[in-house]
Amino acid sequence: GSSKFDGQRVGRDYPLQDGDVIELHS
């Protein structure tokens, strides 16, 4: 999957799986 976040900062709160794209605006 495509992730604009370094490492898994969002992964701890949002379980990112292959193919899943989550857009978060901070």
Identify the pLDDT of residue 9: 59
SS3 10: coil
Domain boundaries, given as residue ranges, for the chain: 1-26
Give 7: exposed, middle or buried? Use CB within 10 Å, 0-12, 13-18, 19+: exposed
Q: What is the pLDDT of residues 1-26, one digit of tens each?
A: 555 656 655 555 666 666 666 676 66
Identify the pLDDT of residue 1: 55
Identify the pLDDT of residue 14: 63
Q: How far is CA 21 from the centre of its chain?
A: 7
Q: 14: how many CB neighbours lie within 10 A of its CB? A: 13
Identify the pLDDT of residue 8: 56
Identify the pLDDT of residue 7: 60
For the entire predicted model, the pTM comes to 0.15
Q: Cα–Cα distance between 22 and 13 in angstroms, integer?
A: 12
